[in-house]
Amino acid sequence: MFYLSIHGGNSNFDVIAFNENCEILGRGHRSGIDNCFEPQQTVLRHISEAVIECVVDLYSLGFSGRFECVYYCMVDKRNLLKECFLQIGYDIGEYILLEEPYCYLLAGGLTETGCVALSSTGSCAAFCNGRNDLLITGGYGIPVGDEGSSAYIGIRGINMVTRSIGGWGEKTILYDFLCESLGNNTAQVDTVRLLQLLYPDNNYARRLIYVKFARQVVRAAGCGDAVAISILEEAGELMARQTLCAYRLYLSGARGTQNDICMNHRGREQGVVDLSFDRSAHGKQTPGVYVCGSTWKNNPIMLNAFRSFVSRYLPEAQCVETKRAAVYGGFVCFILETYGNNALKEAAVQLDPLQEA
């Protein structure tokens, strides 16, 4: 029997195939699947190409075109995923939807329970206690939030550059790094030209500028730039606030995702600004706190700020930086639900070499 685990984030689409013996048999990857910026047919083509790439070697193993189950985590485009399988002609026994923070928790922590601080192209936070028992905060999208994400950091960096250019901001090497990242010599870029580069006709290209510039903010912070350091410290604290809020709301009885209006109203009723905890509410054991997603990579300033803020409210909490890709979440979910916790050691053996995936 054959299974698929899929993760479609804001920018990339990843898929792995495995069998009932927990053997990973194929992988596929494509980018450019955000139908807010790409035509629907392009998105469908990229998804199809990744799936076909993953499945190509399965036919020699007896694959007949049927998958017993597809574990999928899609930030958006869920209807396009199923349409893709219909077009290819695969027979799907069951679809199981996994929320993105839960996928990262499974893949990175090999556990179903814990706080999750997810920062990648976008961001959100969650407390998970199983597949159908979780509370997610944030994740409202780049234009209105996703605070602490790569896009947020990149935009804040560009904000600081334009302030510096205008004369009311602090001096920062981010200006030089921005010109460099846009492929232009600093001496040849005036304000008008810089703005033209920041507003390309293609909206998808514009978003990539924001996301990629986050790396330059991390680089500038490593050089001791005070402006860049403050941006990363702010991002770390924002992620901590969202994470603590998710845990606090979960303890208050709220459940749901960022699209759950009832959960959002419940959050306001509970007063989310107050991040303190009733020490008796979460029992004797403090849950693990897992930081997940590409933004944390090589970003100790943001991580330290996150840990420092979390420790004010949950001093016993262990903050774990995870490095496994979310696409392995469905694989771990299958093992847990089919064979139980005792089989996770076998999963770790297969996944550990893949931490940098």
In which band, very low, low, confident or very high, does the pLDDT at 262 lie, cut at 50, 70 and 90?
very low
Those residues whose C-beta lies under 8 Å from the C-beta of residue 101, and which sit 6 or more positions away, are: 116, 118, 124, 125, 126, 128, 134, 136, 292
Q: Which two tokens stand for residue 14?
A: 């990843």
Cα–Cα nearest to 347, from 140, 118, 112, 186: 112
C-alpha to C-alpha distance for 100 and 125, rounded to whole angstroms: 10
User: Of 231, 252, 280, which closes a domain?
Assistant: 231
Q: Which two tokens stand for residue 215?
A: 């790396």
User: Of 199, 231, 263, which closes a domain?
Assistant: 231
Cα–Cα nearest to 1, from 43, 62, 50, 57: 62
| Mean pLDDT value across residues 262-270 | 44
Average pLDDT, the chain: 84
Q: When comparing pLDDT for 282 and 335, which is higher?
A: 335
Four-point Cα dihedral 135, 141, 143, 149, nearest 10 = 80
Q: What is the value of pTM for the model shown?
A: 0.86
Ramachandran angles phi, psi of 137, nearest 5°: -120, 155
C-alpha to C-alpha distance for 131 and 231, rounded to whole angstroms: 34
Residue 11 and residue 82 share a domain: yes
Highest mean pLDDT among 129-143, 153-167, 260-274, 336-350: 153-167
pLDDT in tens, 47-92: 999 999 999 999 999 999 999 999 999 876 677 888 889 889 999 9
Residue 317 and residue 255 share a domain: yes
Predicted pLDDT at 278: 59
pLDDT in tens, 213-237: 999 999 999 999 999 999 999 999 9
Query: Is residue 236 included in any domain, yes or no?
Result: no
In which band, very low, low, confident or very high, does the pLDDT at 267 lie, cut at 50, 70 and 90?
very low
pLDDT in tens, 8-41: 876 789 999 999 999 999 999 998 666 555 677 8
As a whole number of Å, the CA-based R_g of the chain is 21
Query: Is residue 105 included in any domain, yes or no?
Result: no
User: Of 186, 208, 231, which closes a domain?
Assistant: 231
Residue 178 and residue 123 share a domain: no
Those residues whose C-beta lies under 8 Å from the C-beta of residue 351, and which sit 6 or more positions away, are: 107, 110, 324, 328, 331, 332
Residue 282 pLDDT > 60, yes or no?
Answer: no
Query: Is residue 103 included in any domain, yes or no?
Result: no
| Mean pLDDT value across residues 243-269 | 68
User: Which residue segment(s) compose the domain that 289 sits in?
Assistant: 110-142+242-321
pLDDT in tens, 297-320: 999 999 999 999 999 999 989 999
C-alpha to C-alpha distance for 272 and 115, rounded to whole angstroms: 16
For position 8, which CATH number holds?
3.30.420.40
Query: Is residue 102 included in any domain, yes or no?
Result: no
